[in-house]
Amino acid sequence: MGLDSTTQTAYLCWHMATPKTVAFHTLGCKLNYSETSAIGRTFESKGFQEVAFRDPASVYVINTCSVTEFADKKCRQTVRRALRQNPEAFVVVMGCYAQLKPEEISNIPGVDLVLGAAEKFKVLDYVDDLSKSPGKGMVLAGEVSEARDFHDAFSFGDRTRSFLKVQDGCDYKCSFCTIPQARGNSRSDSIEKVVVNAGAIADRGCREIVLTGVNIGDFGKLPDEEKYRQGGKFIDLIKALDEVKGIERFRISSIEPNLCEDEIIEFVSQSKRFAPHFHMPLQSGSDSMLRVMRRRYKSGLYQDRVAKIKTLMPHACIGVDVIVGFPGETEKHFMETYKFLESLDVSYFHVFTYSERANTPAAEMEGVVPMAERRARNERLRVLSQQKQNAFYKSHLGETRKVLFEKSKDPAYITGFTDNYIKVKLPDRDLINQVREFNLATLDEKGFVAGMLNDSLLPLDKSF
């Protein structure tokens, strides 16, 4: 063809990808995954065929996160990965990082379009012309205050589990967090629409739904032109969802301890479908650190919530988010957190090393903790977390619980989770998306529970 090798590669990549193919890559939280899936369905409705991100495509859509500096770097790496598959592809970047730093992203070589929080759900309005930008990418990212609508979303692809978006944005102003700047004020779907979406997920064969949002305990603020109106509380939502037929389990992805009210805990303890699994962010066990973080509770309230859950559901799994290395965190403050977590009857931690985020109060605070010390504290809590998880697993040895099986990264095994989030495995069998009774017999070297399988298939109970 008379082309040099680089041009030939670009030519072949472009012609391997039909003009109507799109590939997606999601960085960050469950909420992002639900939104990517919903946006993917809109592309399909316009005649696009979705392909894997590792394959050549004519359009690549990257949905970003910006919780940590690492997430920003991952965005740049992902753009490069897309262009290696097809150097002539049209590259769209959206999500939290895109709202916070649109101009920075537009200068990444190969990026053609940057969409902010209010624009990302209109992506198809902007991709009619798939020709690449000759210079920097186009930016369509207005003020985050313009992101007032609620766009419902749920993930589908893994037929076992779906992430269902019920709430977006946040009215809290924690001193370390950029999410209100990236997603805007708290707003929710209506209970009626959430129930309809849960039914649609059930009709697709999914057996578990994870409720997602930024601050789902704040559920209920419905967009109504230029103001918000109350549309029910989170307790009203979960009561309505508990009546949805065709779903084996609902999980609450994460809920603030001050919003995890007694009524919610009491309802979950008696519900037909809500899993005995709570994930509550703590961030610090030191009340003085909680104050400078601008959290809305003290450690005593958190302790009370854990005690309430365990009193009503001794078998419940409780996960914890915690930040180490926050500005001003001394060794004494850290040990307050360590000893507090050590004393709590919780099951595991998600440990985050603090990283400075632009335009947050924490970034200007004194008492910066050296990065090496931040990482050392992270490791100490990770070790404690593993000890907590092992103790939680061992406390259930000998029990028989229902397990919903799913795909495993290890082809030799199939894995699944009990209702209270204990991970089990057994040699590979055709059990994906099936529920079986499982005897929690032994712990193997990786901490997973192996047990005797009750071979009778447990049918999905649709009688409620």
CATH number at 105 reads: 3.40.50.12160
Domain boundary residue, one of 371, 394, 417: 394
Q: Residue by residue, what is the 3-state secondary structure of the chain?
A: CCCCHHHHHHHHHHHHCCCCEEEEEECCCHHHHHHHHHHHHHHHHCCCEECCCCCCCCEEEEEECCCCHHHHHHHHHHHHHHHHHCCCCEEEEEEHHHHHCHHHHHCCCCCCEEECCCCHHHHHHCCCCCCCCCCCCEEECCCHHHCCCCCCEECCCCCCEEEEECEECCCCCCCCCCHHHHHCCCEECCHHHHHHHHHHHHHCCCCEEEEECCCHHHCCEEEECCEEEECCCHHHHHHHHCCCCCCCEEEECCCCCCCCCHHHHHHHHHCCCECCEEEEEEECCCHHHHHHHCCCCCHHHHHHHHHHHHHHCCCCEEEEEEEECCCCCCHHHHHHHHHHHHHCCCCEEEEEECCCCCCCHHHHCCCCCCHHHHHHHHHHHHHHHHHHHHHHHHCCCCCEEEEEEECCCCCCEEEEEECCCCEEEEECCCCCCCEEEEECCEECCCCCEECCECCCCECCCCCC
**344-369 pLDDT per residue, tens:** 999 999 999 999 988 999 999 999 99
Q: Find the mean pLDDT for residues 81-109.
A: 91
Does residue 388 share a domain with residue 406?
A: no
- Range scoring the smallest mean pLDDT among 176-185, 223-232, 309-318: 223-232
**pLDDT reported for residue 17:** 47
Does residue 385 share a domain with residue 423?
A: no
Q: Find the mean pLDDT for residues 261-265.
A: 97
Does residue 386 share a domain with residue 322?
A: yes
Does residue 312 share a domain with residue 357?
A: yes
463 domain-assigned: no
**pLDDT reported for residue 155:** 92
Whether the per-residue pLDDT at 306 is higher than 70: the answer is yes
Q: Find the mean pLDDT for residues 261-274.
A: 97
> Which range has highest mean pLDDT (17-21, 27-31, 214-218, 456-460)?
214-218
Number of domains in the chain: 4
Which domain range does residue 407 map to? 400-450
Does residue 170 share a domain with residue 136?
A: no
Domain boundary residue, one of 107, 128, 146: 146
Tell me the CATH number at 270: 3.30.750.210
Whether the per-residue pLDDT at 116 is higher than 70: the answer is yes
298 domain-assigned: yes
Q: Find the mean pLDDT for residues 4-8.
A: 46
Does residue 73 share a domain with residue 192?
A: no
**26-36 pLDDT per residue, tens:** 988 889 999 99
458 domain-assigned: no
Percent of the residues in the chain that have a pLDDT greater than 90, as a whole number: 67
**pLDDT reported for residue 70:** 67
Does residue 85 share a domain with residue 36?
A: yes
Q: How confident is the model at residue 442 (pLDDT cuts 50, 70, 90)?
A: confident
